[in-house]
Amino acid sequence: MRKLVMTMLASVVALSVATPAAAHENRHDRQHDRLEQRHDRTHYRIDDQHARAHWYGVGRRDHRRLHRNLRDRHHSAHHRLQDRHDDGHDRRSRRHDDD
């Protein structure tokens, strides 16, 4: 009986420690999912603009300008998303250091 009680107490303690960690992981995963969705929407918008430009026809010079503009927007979107991702990790890291 004593062994059973000790096992149950150990299980309760283990679960109480694991639950906040799992909640943190779920929140972290949701934040990553939101960043991925934002990234996908950016690609969709850029691809859509590119396809519309070709549909309506663009001259050679305008075509190069279009691709350069889309490439620059794509890179800046990636950098913004990466910065947001890194900032999120930095904030969480500082929060854990303060605990």
The tokens of 98 are what?
């303060």
Contact indicator for 66, 58 with CB cutoff of 8 Å: yes
Q: What is the pTM of this model?
A: 0.50
What's the alpha-carbon Rg for the chain, to the nearest Å? 24
Q: Kindly give the confidence (pLDDT) of every residue in the chain, 99 residues in length, as a single tens digit, with 9 standing for 90 and above.
A: 556 545 555 655 565 554 455 555 688 788 888 888 888 888 888 888 888 888 888 888 888 888 888 888 888 888 887 888 787 777 766 666 665
Q: Which pLDDT score, from 0 to 100, does residue 82 have? A: 83
What pLDDT score was predicted for residue 6? 55
